[in-house]
Amino acid sequence: MSQLMRAEEVFSQIQHMPESERLKFFALIAKNAFQADNFAHNDVFGHLKDARFSAQDAAEYLEVSMPTFRRYVQSEKIKPVEIIGRSQLFTSSDLRELKQTL
């Protein structure tokens, strides 16, 4: 019966590898992990197609500060699709479109 290694043991061995071997090891992982899969945007984010995002999440997605995001809303670069109380919600497609123009 073969003995399975624990993650901690693997990590310890990787730490003790020469740097050139570590580079080869991680290159092999990266190459083999994604070799068979050719992910399109829709494959990865398709489940978010109809998702709605809060202003905070939208600003984070756009990689801008909240004051900058608020200026985008005030200048109508992006419009909320729904307002609940004081919360504004934005669609992922609108956010993606705006991000492409920034």
Domain CATH code at residue 71: 1.10.1660.10
C-alpha distances out from residue 82 to 20, 52, 68, 87, Å: 53, 9, 20, 8
In a domain, 17, yes or no: yes
Tell me the pTM: 0.56
Is residue 39 included in any domain, yes or no?
Answer: no
16, part of any domain: yes
* Same domain membership, residue 30 and residue 54: no
In a domain, 40, yes or no: no
Q: Which domain holds residue 97?
A: 47-101
Q: What total number of domains does the chain contain?
A: 2
Q: Is 22 inside any structural domain?
A: yes
- Kindly report, residue by residue over 35-94, the tens digit of the pLDDT: 656 667 677 667 777 789 999 999 999 999 999 999 999 999 999 999 999 999 999 889
